[in-house]
Structure 1
Amino acid sequence: MNRSHVLSAAILALFGACAQAATDPVALSFERMLKHTPVTTAPAVPANFGTDPLIAAMVEPLRLWQSGGSSVQFARAATSR
């Protein structure tokens, strides 16, 4: 094989890899997801749901800490739940 054969084989291999990536269902689903316009409405929550456990465990202690609380208060709030 001469240099032109090697070059054309490499180009064909690259085109094959690109064509395979274009038909990859996972890559296509990510592409659709990233092109999708984000929803601006809040998700539906049942009326009697109460406090979200993730918000209570992660966000509320951070809010307390940011509002001037000390790190001790932050640690107490994080471990009290």
Structure 2
Amino acid sequence: MDTEFDSFLTELQESGELLGGEALGDPAGAQLVRWEEGPVISSGPYAAPGEHLAGMFFIQAGTPQRAEEILARFASPGETVELRPIANM
């Protein structure tokens, strides 16, 4: 499975669709910042028990349909994959 996924990432990189990605550390060390008349920092993680964000990939798909095709190849049994647009800052 890892070889197949590595090949898929290579395919996305060669097509110019993979813009980057990063693995994240243990969610137990996360901190959450909320704004309550100023920043208030509390221990994380933000995710619900039993869930955590393991990492992210930045993909530039030409169409929403292509983004969904890519997303479908990231999904595997027992996992949840989320597709989100990137906010333009």
Greater per-residue helix proportion: 1
TM-score where L is the length of structure 2: 0.21
TM-score normalised by the chain length of structure 1: 0.23
Quick check: which has more Rg, 1 or 2? Answer: 1
More strand by share: 2
Q: Which has the higher contact order (CA 8 A, sep 6+)?
A: 2
